[in-house]
Structure 1
Amino acid sequence: MPTEALLIRDTEEIRALPSNVEAEAAFLGAVLIDNRIIEEIGGKLKPEHFFAAVHGRVYERIVTLLDRKAVVTPVTLKPYFEVDEGLKELGGTAYLARLTADGQGLLNPRDLAEQVYDLALLRELITVGRNLVAGAMDTSESVAPLEQVQQAEAALYAVAEGAQSGSEAQGFAVATRTALGMIEQALLSGGHISGTTTGLTSINEKIGGLHDSDLIILAGRPGMGKTSLATNIAFNAADRMRRDIVDGIDPKDSVGAATAFFSLEMSADQLATRILAEQSGISSEMLRMGKISREDFQQLSFASQRLAELPLYIDDTPALSIAALRARARRLKRRHDVGLIVVDYLQLLQGSGRANDNRVNEISEISRGLKTLAKELSVPVIALSQLSRAVEQREDKRPMLSDLRESGSIEQDADMVWFVYREDYYVAAKEPKVPQGADDPKIHDAHAAWQAEMERVYGLAELIVAKQRHGSTGKVRMKFEPRITRFSDLADDERAGNSYDD
């Protein structure tokens, strides 16, 4: 039988690897007889999942031709394999015709595809196990067992996701198809979003949504509302996913996302209170103090029922290390397929023990770890960051990239850097004091001028896009309601000609 030649390997070790070359051949034969089988099994099976390299090349060529809307048969495949050395060992291009000889694969092509896939995962698991044993046995250099545990978990996650451990270079055709898919999503969304929505039209229009594998740094001085904005975006993305699922939209086609929120500063109930305040329109201060009416409580109850269905997962474990956060994020990705990760905030994460002696090195390690996480899980990661006090020393309090605290690597690793700036925060701090009973007109004039300035800027906020790999930088103007800690788009008349400033 021709496929038996594929089982001849150089060592007993390779022969012992889990495989079923006959199943691979039967599956390929079924696909060549009926091309529609590829659509039925979905896109999980990849060329690298085939044990026989020649079978992987045949499958890859079949998928490529089907993408071009061509009909694939042994005849149409023949020109691509006339000089294939691996196929020559099996009798040349005549082997392609023999794959379709009995057609037994047509009886259960899905089961055959599942078996090919499962055996590939077992081979990957064996590779991970061998590398783990080899690494644990090697004590020639510094022993770092915790680091090896993290590496093993990352490798196991890759296997669980059906990816090869040790990712190989992908063909440009694959990258092009991915790019076209993003462009198509932007087109279908009305020309605004090619990633996950922020829920704020003005921001979406500026950045095109949150893109997979991107690290977004959201920074600001205390009191600017960076946690509020991050919470708003996390809620908006999760709520859009919930609504799309209710409307019968395939989760893959949704611009929303299940969201993981790592809150190292606030507890889960504090974050929940913020979101409840935002959605019910009741001040979070009033909620904490219980100063609400029965009508307010009923409104709160309705809001909480709606929020209970949100695909929003909050982890408020304090003092997480970057390695522990990545491990938890992988589990959330595997269990809930999260499509957005928010970290509040970067400076509260801890690096490895070796980096703790130098804070700049530790922050560099953390920012690199967050960028690696974004690429590994293929999701956008929003990490909040503090700014240095240098902002307060300037007349213009708008932040700049040089204000990012403790490490220039944050700016380097980030795909986007956003700054939150609220002028009313600084104007409020400049309120002139009016002594009781004072009748000096200059004092009253100064206070009136301050009041006029406060009315002009009150409730306005700026998102300064200081860095963006995908597009231009600039400012997005928004509305901020401090009572319920909610950012929203400005009204059309306020936005006209004034929504962003490049």
Structure 2
Amino acid sequence: MPEALRIVAEDAAVAPKLPHNVDAEAALLGAMLIDNRLVEEVQTRLRADHFYDPLHGRIYEAVLKLADRNMIANPVTLRPMFEADEGMKAVGGPAYLAQLTGSGAALIGARDFAQQIYDLALLRALVGVGRDMVTSATDTSDAVDPKGQIEAAEVALYKVAEEGGEQGSVKTFAQATRLAVETAEKALNSGGHLSGITTGLEALNAKMGGLHRSDLLILAGRPGMGKTALATNIAFNTARRLVRDREDGIEDSKSAGAAVAFFSLEMSADQLATRILSEQSRISSEDLRMGKISQADFRNLARAAADLESLPLYIDDTPGLTIAALRTRARRLKRQRGVDFIVVDYLQLLQGSGKSGDGNRVQEISEISRGLKQLAKELHVPVLALSQLSRAVEQREDKRPQLSDLRESGSIEQDADIVLFVYREEYYLKNTEPKVPGANDDAKTVSTHDEWAGKMQEAFGMAEVIVAKQRHGATGRVKLAFEAKYTKFADYADDRYMPDSMRS
């Protein structure tokens, strides 16, 4: 034997065979041709490309087509469809269809055959992913990007893992009713206002019922409004509630808290940590950054840091993430850390798949918002995504945001279950201070400044969260207190509703 042929023969001998069972495929097809009722059960799980033998895949596809037309699928009705099929000729022609129905015993094990065909198809897909990984890892002709290859491999593996996942999305009405009752029970036990995961802000919980699983929430605002601060506060409150519930012996599944994944595309992890430490230690974040703290302040800081070490809050500050990479990382955190709440800061800093090379940003944002909604449903967790607003807000006398102010708003507004806007009148009033009256100024100048000072006093330390869209309830405004020094939002206490003894 020539040397070249000997090497090829040896390679073929050691090459692993792809997992398959052609006999099981033939038995299943035979059972389906005998009893067409099996088609309804099998087609929710199997596709034609799950069959190892291409001819079996084509026969299966033909059976589904006939069933879809409410026609009987048997060797007689299938015969005209395979008269010219080269693969069928290779096994003796259309008579092969009759051979498939030769054993009625296959009817007993049809479901098991279908499961085995499906499992073996997944194994072949895994082999394919493995081969692609090896090929890309050993090819150094292009720019080497190991991390990119790892992320691509994770995406490919997850596609294999989610094969057939759609079958679990169909629920009986009894199952759906049970879930609805459990949600209502959770709200009742929490005091009648919290059916989801807590935000840590009672007024916001009362308006929305908390953060609901599978929901995409958009939190938007102009720069300086504090949207990142609010998102950080909510993430911290949610993670801290989980820790407290665990200490009280409450199961994670019944807790109003959650482990949180915070994807920070704008700020670094240490900057976010500084904000949280500032809030908890009551030390200005600016003083922390510049080292303007006393020994007592530092002890408070160290104590707060020690208390927060076990907080289930995971920060990913990788810049320039694509929506596909973010979904891959979120799935990993869900699997490894049990994450039940995801925050993305912010939506416009994510990148699309890059398939649309025309640079259409609106289409790219549509892909991103749709991807975030799919992620929320897929992982069954609430996803809170921050978003920028257009400058149209600044052109209006009333600076309160509207849905139309969302950048590339069409898709974001459509995909979101809840849209929240952060608005602080104090921010705008600061920039409109009139001339400070002097000794020689007239009464009108004094009155104008006094009027401004009155508005400023009323707006000081106050924020609004505007619920502009909510699938589950009413829209409206929620008042919150905001401490700019510590970038902290809290529930707002209105003096008008306090007893006289409690007023300062």
2:123 to 111, 121, 126: 126
**1:346–1:435: structure 2 CA closer, same or farther, 3 Å change rule?**
same
Question: What amino acid is aligned across from residue 390 of structure 1 in structure 2?
Answer: A
Q: Which residue of 2 aligns with 1:452?
A: 454
Q: Which residue of 2 aligns with 1:291?
A: 292
Q: Indicate the percent of aligned positions where both proteins have the same amino acid.
A: 60
Deviations 1:422-444 (A, max 9, x none): 11111111001337775444333
| Conservation of the 8 A alpha-carbon contact between 1:282 and 1:296 | yes
**1:348–1:311: structure 2 CA closer, same or farther, 3 Å change rule?**
same
Question: What amino acid is aligned across from residue 159 of structure 2 in structure 1?
Answer: A
Question: What amino acid is aligned across from residue 215 of structure 1 in structure 2?
Answer: L
Deviation at 1:247, TM superposition (A): 1.6
Find the aligned partners of 1:11 and 1:495 in 2 and give their Cα distance: 77
Question: What amino acid is aligned across from residue 363 of structure 1 in structure 2?
Answer: I
Q: Which residue of 2 aligns with 1:239?
A: 240
Q: How does 1:179-328 map to 2 (within 5 A)?
A: 179-328=180-329
Q: Which residue of 2 aligns with 1:483?
A: 485
Q: Which residue of 1 aligns with 2:39?
A: none
Q: Which residue of 2 aligns with 1:428?
A: 430
Q: Which residue of 2 aligns with 1:411?
A: 413
| Conservation of the 8 A alpha-carbon contact between 1:155 and 1:165 | no
**1:247–1:272: structure 2 CA closer, same or farther, 3 Å change rule?**
same
Deviation at 1:154, TM superposition (A): 2.8
| Conservation of the 8 A alpha-carbon contact between 1:363 and 1:407 | no
Find the aligned partners of 1:147 and 1:362 in 2 and give their Cα distance: 20
How many residues are matched? 384
Deviations 1:265-290 (A, max 9, x none): 00001100100111111111111111
Deviation at 1:249, TM superposition (A): 1.2
1:370 to 369, 372, 386: 372
Find the aligned partners of 2:287 and 2:307 in 1 and give their Cα distance: 21
Secondary structure in structure 1 of the residue aligned to 2:378: helix
Deviation at 1:170, TM superposition (A): 2.6
Where does the alignment leave 5 or more consecutive residues of structure 2 unmatched? Answer: 1-20, 29-44, 46-103, 109-114, 134-148, 499-504
Q: How does 1:30-109 map to 2 (within 5 A)?
A: none
**1:157–1:334: structure 2 CA closer, same or farther, 3 Å change rule?**
farther
| Conservation of the 8 A alpha-carbon contact between 1:418 and 1:465 | yes
Give the TM-score taking structure 2 as reference length.
0.70
**1:260–1:187: structure 2 CA closer, same or farther, 3 Å change rule?**
same
Find the aligned partners of 1:492 and 1:249 in 2 and give their Cα distance: 33
Q: Does 1:12 align with 2:23?
A: yes
Q: How does 1:160-171 map to 2 (within 5 A)?
A: 164=165, 167=168, 169-171=170-172
Secondary structure in structure 2 of the residue aligned to 1:354: coil
| Conservation of the 8 A alpha-carbon contact between 1:124 and 1:164 | no
Find the aligned partners of 1:316 and 1:381 in 2 and give their Cα distance: 17
Question: What amino acid is aligned across from residue 386 of structure 2 in structure 1?
Answer: L
Deviation at 1:448, TM superposition (A): 2.1
Find the aligned partners of 2:282 and 2:442 in 1 and give their Cα distance: 41
Instruction: Report which stretch shifted further, 146-155 or 195-204.
Output: 146-155
1:152 to 149, 156, 172: 156
**1:175–1:151: structure 2 CA closer, same or farther, 3 Å change rule?**
farther
Q: Which has the larger radius of gyration?
A: 2
Where does the alignment leave 5 or more consecutive residues of structure 1 unmatched? Answer: 1-9, 18-47, 49-85, 91-117, 137-144, 497-502
Deviation at 1:129, TM superposition (A): 3.4
Instruction: Report which stretch shifted further, 172-181 or 298-307.
Output: 172-181
Deviation at 1:131, TM superposition (A): 8.5
| Conservation of the 8 A alpha-carbon contact between 1:218 and 1:226 | yes
Question: What amino acid is aligned across from residue 284 of structure 1 in structure 2?
Answer: S
Find the aligned partners of 2:329 and 2:152 in 1 and give their Cα distance: 16
| Conservation of the 8 A alpha-carbon contact between 2:274 and 2:288 | yes
Find the aligned partners of 1:418 and 1:495 in 2 and give their Cα distance: 26
**1:484–1:147: structure 2 CA closer, same or farther, 3 Å change rule?**
closer
Deviation at 1:133, TM superposition (A): 9.5
Secondary structure in structure 2 of the residue aligned to 1:302: helix
Question: What amino acid is aligned across from residue 123 of structure 2 in structure 1?
Answer: I
Give the TM-score taking structure 1 as reference length.
0.70
Deviations 1:275-319 (A, max 9, x none): 011111111111111111222111111111111110000000001
Secondary structure in structure 2 of the residue aligned to 1:194: coil
Find the aligned partners of 1:171 and 1:329 in 2 and give their Cα distance: 29
Find the aligned partners of 1:16 and 1:439 in 2 and give their Cα distance: 99
Find the aligned partners of 1:383 and 1:289 in 2 and give their Cα distance: 30
**1:429–1:14: structure 2 CA closer, same or farther, 3 Å change rule?**
same
**1:164–1:439: structure 2 CA closer, same or farther, 3 Å change rule?**
closer
Find the aligned partners of 2:239 and 2:464 in 1 and give their Cα distance: 24
Find the aligned partners of 1:174 and 1:123 in 2 and give their Cα distance: 31
Find the aligned partners of 1:221 and 1:259 in 2 and give their Cα distance: 25
Find the aligned partners of 1:494 and 1:200 in 2 and give their Cα distance: 20
**1:121–1:261: structure 2 CA closer, same or farther, 3 Å change rule?**
farther
Q: Which residue of 2 aligns with 1:500?
A: none
| Conservation of the 8 A alpha-carbon contact between 1:231 and 1:275 | yes
Find the aligned partners of 1:452 and 1:492 in 2 and give their Cα distance: 17
Deviation at 1:194, TM superposition (A): 1.1
Find the aligned partners of 2:438 and 2:319 in 1 and give their Cα distance: 47
Deviation at 1:412, TM superposition (A): 0.2
Find the aligned partners of 1:119 and 1:282 in 2 and give their Cα distance: 62
